[in-house]
Amino acid sequence: MSGSTALARFAAFARSVAGPDAVIDDPRERQAYSCDGLTSHRATPGLVFVPSSRDELIVGVREIIRLGLPFVARGAGTGLSGGALPETDGVLVVLARLTRVLEIDPISRVAVVEPGVVNLDLSAAVAGEGLLFAPDPSSQIACTIGGNIAENSGGAHCFKYGFTTNHVLGLELIDPTGELVFVGGQSLESPGPDVRGLIIGSEGTLGIATTIVCRLINQPSLRRTLVAYFDDAVQAGDAVSEIVGAGLVPAAIEMMDRPALVACEAATHAGLELDWGAALLVELDGPAEEVDEGFVAVREALAAAGARSVWVATTEAERERMWRARKAAFAAAGRVAPAYIVQDGVIPRTSLPRVLAAIGDLARESGLEILNVFHAGDGNLHPLVTYDPSVPGEEARAEEVAAAILSLCLAEGGSLTGEHGIGVDKVCKMPEMFSATDLSVFARVRTALDPRGLANPGKLLPTPRLCGEQAGRYRPHPLEEAGVATRW
Amino acid sequence: MSGSTALARFAAFARSVAGPDAVIDDPRERQAYSCDGLTSHRATPGLVFVPSSRDELIVGVREIIRLGLPFVARGAGTGLSGGALPETDGVLVVLARLTRVLEIDPISRVAVVEPGVVNLDLSAAVAGEGLLFAPDPSSQIACTIGGNIAENSGGAHCFKYGFTTNHVLGLELIDPTGELVFVGGQSLESPGPDVRGLIIGSEGTLGIATTIVCRLINQPSLRRTLVAYFDDAVQAGDAVSEIVGAGLVPAAIEMMDRPALVACEAATHAGLELDWGAALLVELDGPAEEVDEGFVAVREALAAAGARSVWVATTEAERERMWRARKAAFAAAGRVAPAYIVQDGVIPRTSLPRVLAAIGDLARESGLEILNVFHAGDGNLHPLVTYDPSVPGEEARAEEVAAAILSLCLAEGGSLTGEHGIGVDKVCKMPEMFSATDLSVFARVRTALDPRGLANPGKLLPTPRLCGEQAGRYRPHPLEEAGVATRW
């Protein structure tokens, strides 16, 4: 059967089981789904399937698999690495209508949700019980929990609370062979290999979550927040080491360099001081006495590292202004230049001053302004490389600079991505971080769960087709290719 | 090549690369390794290999694999589910000499260790920096970190601190095809599927860790501990729900029923009161003010649930007496009867009173005394079913009772094991907890990483050979058997 015949058959099937609204095949409407937050990569999906219930999802995905069509899951499309880039000859499975919170259990502190539930909506649904869902990506007003699982999303507060994998206890998955599997449970301890952990962060390559068990945590009774200013980024980096080394665990430690300070203040008029080399936003949360005690210790650590000025939020409104300024960084970059590339990399905390200095050199050499905002607690950089696409060659230069920043991260023993994922954006860079054998393990696991390669093909793992010679460095192990029988 | 020829070849190879001490082939000496803490299952290993360095380990395991010999890794042999039960026609790889702490980084709060490092020795090595390694199985004075990884070990304090998977950031693995793979990194966030989490808890079936990056946490500045007494286990269960529901996170909540109280006190003379139906040992730790505040709230929750008497430790010596009494439960069982079976299951916290009542019924019906000790915070039961092997039929009855307790756990939506693992002990019970498709996912992943089935065969996953019809419920997916090529 040709690809277009299979797509037409699936469209007819999906309409019959899920109604006419469940299928989008008009070319212009399909084009609206041609990219996620990574707008540099686009592909019009062969067909869009929008189920309204778990059952429609399961029946539909099984038919997609039976027909041998590739499929890509999409939540809100806020991802920044092209993880939801569609296949032109496949089906884009949009989960945006699966928005039900099925169960809230305040005693066991779990909620059971559908994959299309918006991150912030879950916290809103459990706020009356004094609870919240901890992962807080900056897109949390729009992004879905299914998407958080695909990307193992973090956020400003993951230094203290961890990533999505620490807050999703179990899930029902329709795997790439069409089987329904339940992984994990109602607690983080389950016998045998942690397949739950394998699914979370696999970027839609191992199946689609249909039902999700989320862990909820207590809302903190108190939050205290400050902004501290330093002469330079080296001192700010020292302050982060002082704080962490003293055993303090702030809910967030965010860093902005001077260009970011200037741009964020211009965008929000929050009241940031501008005559400094770098600033840290530090927030503590938890029981009141613990927070008050910790806040004193944080201020001591900041002073010891050379903080020259400290702005302490005395009201909730002031705290919100601080966060608005920090979170405006992306919008603020748009005021500096018509376009920008946001990079996402991780470095060991101790490398922070050295990497910031090197990024400064790159900015000077390239003539491009770079704003640095950081989840400094876990060493997760988000440099914004600004450029003007109307200036010939500037976009290419920006891409070179962004790539060079990533190479800096890897040279320091860091990571290709902190929270934006690999997707299509960094798939050909995987061999720079992982050895051939490391990648072979990923590939063997993926093949085991998706023998036909239907689930989000072209994402996460490099292939010769995508990446040329580079990807040729890893191959299935000879023993695997030989298909030697198992003895257990 | 016959199995014995291959063993002889490996012995010669291992002696030549690692010296004569690295091989144990004398039959009587080999017999000393015939079981781990699960003494009911025994098998004399075909050969014992005891490398003294990472290089010897890697070279040796590669040769074992090249020769097609099955192999089983063993740390200190303290496991309770037979995970280190040897293969009579294979090699037991003993890691007890790989005891070096290679690096301690107090700023990044990580330590790099060899797999044979004893759990408590790591905490001792970093104590001077004010740090500790959190997982604290009751065998921590002897068990190794490699073994903790195999079993994803917890301990009395895992309610607050989590399991080994939360404290091992990365590891170098020699996989069952002989490849060296590095999984995870220096932080808990790494791109792609969490293969690290897949390895931890896989009971030696996916390879042998050669080098381990451990996360260290701060030693708490204060610990406060009490024992609260209740008329019955239902009230004690209510108290656990009160404490957890109030958002308190004690470092430990341990429960003992009346038979356990009596036996532990007789064994230790710690000063426990005996005229109560059940007792809770509750410990808080952390910054001083947080602990003091929390302690008040815990006492209020205990009172609300009907605690009739409370013993608060006022000195460190008193606190140690409380813990000595609790930790003596296994030894104390030996005073009640000549033998006992220790069961390990998990139930939802809310099922605690119902399950305890049912265990009481089983004790009455069988005429066997059952001591109940519990990690109550995470619903992890450790009933000790005592019996006299000299009374005909009593051992079989004890085994039936232990199995019935596990069925109770599963009926409540709980788990086959909290921390002792599946091993050989519970391998045929896996289909009672996991569906055929769930087990198929485990099996497909295992086959992907160990195509020849050499690593710890017969453990963790049921097979027709081990379990008869029962295991026939799951099979590789037809698509997998067909070996259809992947497209990505």
- Cross-strand bridge partners of residue A104: A111
| Out of B206, B457, B487, closest to residue A193 by CB | B206
- The band of A485, judged by pLDDT with boundaries at 50, 70 and 90, is very low
Work out the minimum CA distance from B335 to partner chain A, whole angstroms: 31
Whether B441 sits inside 8 A of A449 (CB atoms) is yes
For residues A98 and A121, the answer to whether their CB atoms sit within 8 Å is no
Give the number of residues written for chain A: 488
Residues facing residue A431 across a β-bridge: none
pLDDT the model gives residue A476: 37
Q: Residue A121 has what pLDDT?
A: 97
Residue A104 scores a pLDDT above 70: yes
How confident is the model at residue A479, as a pLDDT? Answer: 33
Question: pLDDT (tens digit, 9 = 90+) per residue, A38-88?
Answer: 988 999 999 999 999 999 999 999 999 999 999 999 999 999 999 999 999
What is the model's pLDDT at position B75?
97
CA distance B194 to A182: 17
Q: Give the per-residue pLDDT at A244.
A: 83
Asked whether residue A461 carries a pLDDT value surpassing 80, the answer given is yes
> What pLDDT, on the 0 to 100 scale, is given for residue B478?
34
Do the domains B101-218 and B222-411 sit in the same CATH topology, yes or no?
Answer: no
What are the pLDDT digits (tens) for A346-387?
988 778 888 988 999 999 999 999 999 888 888 899 999 999
Mean of all residue pLDDT scores within chain A: 90
Residue ranges of chain B with pLDDT lower than 50?
471-488
* Chain A residue nearest residue B466, CA to CA: A488
Give the integer Cα–Cα distance in Å for B387 and B398.
6
Of A293, A379, A445, the CB nearest to B289: A293
pLDDT at A406 over 80: yes
Cα dihedral value A285, A287, A293, A299, nearest 10: 10
Asked if the Cβ–Cβ distance from B445 to A449 is below 8 Å, we say: yes
Helices (H), A305-375: 316-327, 329-336, 352-366
Average of per-residue pLDDT across A401-428: 91
Per-domain boundaries in chain A: 3-94, 101-218, 222-411, 437-482
> B350 contacts in A (CB within 8 Å)?
107-108
Helix runs in B328-471, H state only: 329-336, 352-366, 394-411, 430-433, 436-449, 464-467
Yes or no: say if B70 and A487 are a contact pair by the CB < 8 Å rule.
Answer: yes
Other Cβ atoms within 10 Å of A221 Cβ, number: 14
How many A×B Cβ pairs under 8 Å?
276
Q: At A282, list the tokens.
A: 């530090």
Query: Which residues in chain B are closer than 8 Å to A175, comparing Cβ atoms?
Result: 437, 441
Contact A84, A77 (CB under 8 A): yes
Q: How far apart are CA A284 and CA A221, in angstroms?
A: 11
**pLDDT score at B103:** 94
Q: What percent of chain A has pLDDT over 70?
A: 95
* A168-174 and A180-184 strand pairing: antiparallel
- Could you give phi then psi for residue A450, rounded to 5 degrees? -135, 70
Q: What is the pLDDT of residue A273?
A: 96
CA distance B27 to chain A (A): 25
The Cα–Cα gap between A20 and B466 comes to 51
> What percent of chain A has a predicted confidence (pLDDT) above 90?
71
CATH fold group of domain A3-94: 3.30.43
**Least CB–CB distance from A448: residue in B152, B426, B445:** B445
Q: Do B70 and A487 touch (CB under 8 A)?
A: yes
Q: Residue B25: what pLDDT? A: 95
Residues of B in contact with A422 (CB under 8 A): 191-192
Q: Given an 8 Å threshold on Cβ–Cβ distance, is A193 in contact with B442?
A: yes
pLDDT digits (tens, 9 = 90+) for A139-156: 899 999 999 999 999 888
Q: Report d(CA A39, CA B173) in Å as an integer.
A: 38
User: Which numeric CATH code is attached to B101-218?
Assistant: 3.30.465.10
* Band of residue A246 on the pLDDT scale cut at 50, 70, 90: confident
Fold of B222-411: Vanillyl-alcohol Oxidase; Chain A, domain 3 (3.40.462)
Show the CA angle centred on residue A244, arms to residues B104 and B140, nearest 5°: 45
C-alpha–C-alpha distance, residues A375 and A253, integer Å? 6
Residue A437 to residue B180, Cβ atoms within 8 A: yes
Q: CA A332 to CA A340: how far, in whole Å? A: 10
Exposure string of B34-67, with b = 16+ CB inside 10 Å and e = fewer, is bbbbbeeeebbbbbbbbbbebebbbbbbebbbeb
Mean pLDDT of A206-218: 95
pLDDT at B379: 87
* Average pLDDT over every residue of A264-270: 93
| pLDDT at A129 (0 to 100) | 93
The interaxial angle of helices A394-411 and A352-366, nearest 10 deg, is: 160
Contact B181 A437 (CB under 8 A): yes
Question: Which chain B residues are Cβ-neighbours of A206 within 8 angstroms?
Answer: 193
